[in-house]
Each structure stands twice: as structure tokens, then as C-alpha cells.
């Protein structure tokens, strides 16, 4: 440095006046290095950053808020953005790396994505005072002349239900449709109407006077979790992806598992 930092005084090292002038700057520099080391540890562990998720409505209302709240108890400095849109738009967002994780209807409408497909059994929901609540299992014949909520957009669940009804020559009333299963449940809670919905919305305990029963023949709802094949997930996104995958498997099974069972 061109000047002394210490000198001897009675057998001890003593800082010079120049060293004392430099001390404050050195202290700030060491503090900055310590902050950098701490930030590296936080980034590596996923403790900071941001995660973006887009859903088409299946999990958005009754499932994701709790999952995100639990995640942020462990990672309070991570910002989570959640969007709700159509499956096609979500797939496009993930493909262009505008969104980290997408939950959409299967099949996936865009190529070039990492995809896991989950199948879950739908249930029949009704008001607690509905006669159907006295049954252990609901069948197509039990829906004769009942008002059944439809899912807007020619949803696969509705198509499969219509096929079962047609095979039994059973007529139902379709006078209300909604884009979201959660809204279908809200309509059922008002009484009179029933609906065939995904298990996540159907089995949710919301204290809204809605009960669910298994439906046979089984109707499955297929959803896919997609991520970009060109951009790996960050640490925080990986943690949410892991928790979301565990949640989906708790009420469904992976298509890969189904293939293995067939073999």
C-alpha cells in the first residue's frame, strides 16, 4: 500500500493512524463479502427469488392458495405469482419461458415442453340435503332429469359423462355452465343442481353444505404439469414443483405408472 499499517509498541502490534483511516473502508468491504456469501447460500437453497405459476382453474381456487402459503412459511422472501388462463395460453407462456410452471388440461397443445400427466377420478357433488347424498355411489340412472352443471368449452369430463348417459338412454338438464369446477361447486352449494367435478374441488372441505360421492362408471380428469424444456427451473421453482407434484400424486396417478401397470 506504500505505508505502514502497524508498528510495535511495548512488544505489541499497534495500528498506525493510516490504518485507522483505512479501517472503516475495510470493514465495509468485509461486510459486503459476507453479504455476498449469504446471498449465494440463499439463492442455492431457493430461499429468495421469484416463481411464476399458471393454472387453468382446476387447482387455482381451493388448492394452490394453501400450498403457496405453506411454501412461503419456509421461504418468506420468495415472491410467487399465480395466473389463471386457458390451457393453450399457459402452454405458450411456459414454452416462451414467461411462466415457470403450468397446470393445464391434457393433451398438451404445444410441443417442446417437459410434461407429467396426472389422472384423477371425478366425483359427483350435491347439496347435503339432496337425495343423492343418501347414496354410497352415484350412477348415471341417478341423474335422470336432474340439472347437471356443465364445464364451458366442451370439456372432456362432460363428454365422457354424456357418453355414459347416452349408453343408458338417460336424459339430464343442462341449463348452467361455468369455465371452472370451483364455480360449479358454488352453484351446487345453492341447492337443486349437481355436478361431476375433479377430486380436488369435489373433496375440498369448505363448510359450504356440499357433499361428494364416488361416481360409476369412473370418469377421469386429466391434467398435465408442464415446464420449459429449454430452461431449467430455479431453486425456488424446483421446490414448488416438488410440492405440487406430491399434491397431484396424492389424489391421482402418473400416466407413466399406468403404462407400467399395463405392461
In which band, very low, low, confident or very high, does the pLDDT at 32 lie, cut at 50, 70 and 90? Answer: confident
Does 143 lie in the same domain as 107?
no
Cis, peptide link before residue 172, omega less than 30° from 0: no
Q: Would 8 be classed as within a structural domain?
A: no
Domain that includes residue 28, residue range: 17-45
Flag whether pLDDT at 52 surpasses 80.
Answer: yes
Q: Would 11 be classed as within a structural domain?
A: no
| Number of domains present in the structure of the chain | 3
Does 237 lie in the same domain as 115?
yes
Does 249 lie in the same domain as 209?
no
Q: What is the pLDDT of residue 99?
A: 93
Q: Would 12 be classed as within a structural domain?
A: no
The pLDDT > 90 percentage for the chain reads 61
* H, E, C per residue of 145-185: CCEECEECCCCHHHHHHHHHHHHCCCCCECCCEECCHHHHH
Cell representation of residue 39 = 446471498
Q: What is the pLDDT of residue 39?
A: 63
Does 133 lie in the same domain as 115?
no
Q: Would 9 be classed as within a structural domain?
A: no
Residue 172 has, within 13 A of its CA and on its CB side, a CA count of 26
Does 212 lie in the same domain as 131?
yes
| Cβ atoms < 10 Å from Cβ of 229 | 13
Does 229 lie in the same domain as 103?
yes
| Rounded distance between C-alpha atoms, residue 258 and residue 78, angstroms | 35
Does 206 lie in the same domain as 237?
no
Amino acid at each position: 500500500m506504500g505505508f505502514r499499517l502497524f508498528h510495535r509498541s511495548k512488544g505489541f502490534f499497534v495500528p498506525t493512524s493510516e490504518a485507522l483511516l483505512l479501517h472503516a473502508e475495510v470493514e465495509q468491504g468485509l461486510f459486503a463479502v459476507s453479504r455476498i456469501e449469504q446471498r449465494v447460500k440463499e439463492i442455492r437453497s431457493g430461499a429468495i427469488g421469484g416463481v411464476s405459476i399458471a393454472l387453468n382453474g382446476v387447482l387455482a381456487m381451493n388448492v394452490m392458495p394453501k400450498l403457496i402459503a405453506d411454501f412461503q412459511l419456509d421461504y418468506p422472501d420468495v415472491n410467487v405469482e399465480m395466473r389463471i388462463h386457458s390451457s393453450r395460453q399457459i402452454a405458450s407462456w411456459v414454452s416462451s419461458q414467461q411462466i415457470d410452471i403450468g397446470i393445464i388440461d391434457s393433451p398438451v397443445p404445444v410441443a417442446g415442453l417437459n410434461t407429467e400427466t396426472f389422472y384423477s377420478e371425478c366425483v359427483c357433488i350435491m347439496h347435503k340435503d339432496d337425495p343423492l347424498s343418501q347414496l354410497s355411489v352415484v350412477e348415471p340412472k341417478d341423474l335422470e332429469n336432474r340439472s347437471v352443471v356443465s364445464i364451458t368449452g366442451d370439456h372432456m369430463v362432460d363428454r365422457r359423462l354424456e357418453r355414459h348417459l347416452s349408453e343408458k338412454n338417460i336424459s339430464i338438464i343442462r341449463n348452467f355452465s361455468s369455465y371452472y369446477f370451483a364455480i360449479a361447486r358454488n352453484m351446487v352449494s345453492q341447492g337443486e343442481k349437481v355436478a361431476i367435478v375433479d377430486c380436488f374441488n369435489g373433496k375440498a372441505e369448505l363448510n359450504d353444505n356440499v357433499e361428494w360421492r364416488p361416481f360409476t362408471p369412473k370418469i377421469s380428469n386429466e391434467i398435465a404439469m408442464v415446464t420449459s424444456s429449454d430452461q431449467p427451473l430455479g431453486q425456488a421453482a424446483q421446490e414448488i414443483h416438488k410440492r405440487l407434484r406430491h399434491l397431484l400424486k396424492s389424489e391421482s396417478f402418473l400416466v407413466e405408472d399406468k403404462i407400467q401397470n399395463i405392461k
